[in-house]
Structure 1
Amino acid sequence: MKMRNLVKEKLEKNGYVLGAFVASGSPTNAEILGINNLDFILIDMEHAQTNMETIVDMVRASELYGMAPFVRVYNPVDGPMMARMLDVGVHGLMIPMVETPEHAKYIIDNVKIAPLGKRGIGVGRGPRWGWYEDYNRGECNDNTYTIMQCETRKGVENIEEICKTPGLDCIFIGTADLSQDMGCLGDMKNPEFINAIDKVLKSCQKHNIIAGIVTGSVEEASMRIKQGFKLVTIMNDLGFFRSQSKKLIDAVRGSIS
């Protein structure tokens, strides 16, 4: 059996992919998003309580519907933890707060096997207990998706060198953290912030790296895709549930007052 990279396949077919952060730790939510034809999810371990056992169930629920399950790791300098995430079968990783080419190289060392990296050979769920026959012969290097987040001024300053990292698939802009680090939290129209976004996008395009970004509305997602971003998140499952449930509750209360 051959390992597949679902996101690369969908990028080639459609030109962009849509995803969601899943902070609930819910395999059911993952399954519902897969049923709804979402392209990928980012299982959030940086800002959520999800544990390793739950991740495996969320991966299985995603795979059932052809949706790629990624994990955003909680410690950007814990390489062995990143390797373990891949060993349990996630399709790729998002690493927050990448600011230097040295950090980028460290990440690749820990998520790729030789000759690209130094990750140990796995025999567990990652290679599906040997079902992926060529997993440890380099197949995992080609099909494990590696996303590094640009979230600081320093990351923007070094983006050109970071984008040269062999094995890197995607740079993903965390707009909230980046705008906060630039002193304009939430101001998406700040000229310096706009220039930073443009610099990252152009560096990605120059080095054939997929550019990704977080969005919060239909209009913003559409705008970013037309701008050239190809890996776009459109929601956080818990944020969506909070906002939509409040809208319904307020509407019902308003209708009887």
Structure 2
Amino acid sequence: MELKRNAFKAALREGRRQIGLWCTIPDSGVVELLAGCGYDWLLIDTEHSPMDPVQTMPLMQAAAPYPVSAMCRPAWNDAVLIKKLLDCGAQSLLVPFVQNAEEAEAAVRATRYPPHGIRGVSGCTRANAYGSVAGYAKRAEEELCVILQVETVEAVDRIEEIAQVEGVDGIFVGPADLAASMGRVGEPAHPEVREAVTEAVRRIRAAGLPPGVLSSDRPLLESATEAGAQFIAVGVDAALLRRGAAELRDSW
């Protein structure tokens, strides 16, 4: 069996815009439903959800038959959590709260086998189709996509040094945590935050990497897109469900 191609990574390399959706509801039926909605990528989140790494596997399996890329976010920049997600079959990772080049290097090392990293070797996991992919350990990194999240003023100040770390495939800006870091907690759509996000996107693009962002604020997304954001998450499953249910109730 051939090593599975990472369509999301290929799209980033080709400069194609990718529209995504955040998944926080740990239910394979919900992910399967969303996988058929035409998004380019779905982010399965274990940082701000009830999920642990093992629970991501049936969600990735639910999305697999559809033309959508499943990305996973570990709860922290932790080699143990990253290893578990990779063994469950994740090919794209969004690593949160990366503050500097040293932490960026640690995130990349967690996805690489020795001698280039510290990922543990297992011969029979979903990652290598349970041992069916010949030479998986030697080629795995070709199709792994490592996205790092900058979400504080300190991290944004160090975008250029983070972008220079070999093995980083993109940088994602987190408006909510950046707003908190700026003293604007709970105000991710504030004009100052919007400008900070837009400027961060410009600098990521200038540093030679594809920038990403998540927001439910349309003006922020439009500003970030104009600045060069390439992979854009436009909503969160739980928020969409609540808003739709509330609007329907209000209409009655």
**Is TM (by shorter chain) over 0.5?**
yes
- Aligned-partner residue type, residue 79 of structure 1: A
Q: TM-score, normalised by structure 1?
A: 0.89
Equivalenced residue count is: 249
Q: Could you tell me how far 1:184 is from its partner in structure 2? A: 2.5
Q: Give 1:219 deviation, angstroms.
A: 5.3
Structure-2 separation of matches of 1:207 and 1:149: 15
- The change in CA–CA distance for 1:11 and 1:163 in structure 2 (over 3 A counts) is closer
- 160-169 vs 197-206, which deviates more? 197-206
Distance 1:49 1:133, change over 3 A: same
Give, in whole Å, the separation in 2 of the partners of 1:195 and 1:247.
30
Superposed counterparts of 1:110-125, under 5 Å: 110-123=110-123, 124-125=125-126
What SS does the aligned partner of 1:111 have? coil
Cα displacement (A) at 1:220: 4.4
Cα 1:55–1:189 change in 2 (3 A) is closer
- Give the Cα separation in 2 of the matches to 1:67 and 1:98: 26
| Deviation of the 1:50 alpha carbon | 1.4
- Could you list the per-position Cα deviations for residues 21-54 of structure 1 after superposition, in whole angstroms to 9, with x for gaps in the alignment? 1111111121112111211111111111113443
Distance 2:21 2:151 in 1: 18
More deviation, 229-238/92-101: 92-101
The ranges of structure 1 where at least 4 consecutive aligned residues each deviate by more than 6 angstroms after the TM superposition are: none
Task: Name the counterpart of 1:58.
Answer: 59
* Residue identity opposite 1:132 in structure 2: V
- Find the residue that maps to 2:234 and give its secondary structure: strand
Match for residue 163 of structure 2?
A: 163
- 2:97 paired residue number: 97
Partner of 1:184: 184
The equivalent residue for 1:36 is: 37
- C-alpha deviations, 1:136-193, integer Å up to 9, x for none? 112x2121111111110110111110111111111111101101111133154544x4
- Residues 13/108 of structure 1: CA separation in 2 closer, same or farther (3 Å cut): closer
| Matched AA of 1:26 | D
Query: What CA RMSD, in Å, does the superposition of the two structures yield over aligned residues?
Result: 2.0
Is contact 1:116–1:167 with CA below 8 Å preserved after alignment? no
Paired with 1:84 and 1:188, the residues of 2 have a C-alpha distance of: 34
- Relative to structure 1, is the Cα distance of residues 128 and 80 closer, same or farther in structure 2, using a 3 angstrom cutoff? same
Quick check: 1:131 aligned with 2:135? no
Q: What CA distance in whole angstroms lies between the structure 2 residues aligned with 1:209 and 1:14?
A: 10
Please state how far the C-alpha of 1:237 moved relative to its aligned partner. Answer: 0.3
Partner of 1:236: 236
Taking only the aligned residue pairs, the percentage that are identical comes to: 23
66-75 vs 56-65, greater mean Cα deviation: 66-75
Structure 2 length normalisation: TM-score? 0.90
Counterpart amino acid of residue 83 in structure 1: K
In structure 1, the residue matched to 2:73 is 72
Point out where structure 1 has 5 or more consecutive residues left out of the alignment: 253-257
Match for residue 250 of structure 2?
250
How far apart, CA to CA, are the structure 1 residues paired with 2:53 and 2:158? 33
Mapped contact 1:27–1:54 kept (Cα < 8 A): no
CA positional deviation for 1:12: 5.7
Letter in 1 for 2:92: G
Indicate the residue corresponding to 1:213 in structure 2: 213
Residue aligning to 1:18: 19
Measure how far apart 1:239 and its partner are.
0.7
Opposite residue 156 of structure 2, the aligned amino acid is: V
- Decide whether aligned partners of structure 1 residues 197 and 219 sit closer, same or farther in structure 2, where only a CA change above 3 A counts: closer
CA distances 1:174-225 after superposition (whole Å, capped 9, x unpaired): 101101111133154544x455334422332233211000121555444432
3-state secondary structure, aligned to 2:177: helix
The alpha-carbon distance between structure 1 residues 80 and 187, as it changes in their structure 2 partners (threshold 3 A), is closer
Deviations for 1:92-113, whole angstroms, at most 9, x for unmatched residues? 2111111111111111111122
Distance 1:187 1:205 in 2: 21
Q: In 2 relative to 1, CA 157–224 (structure 1 residues): closer, same or farther, beyond 3 Å?
A: closer
Helix, strand or coil for the counterpart of 1:99? coil
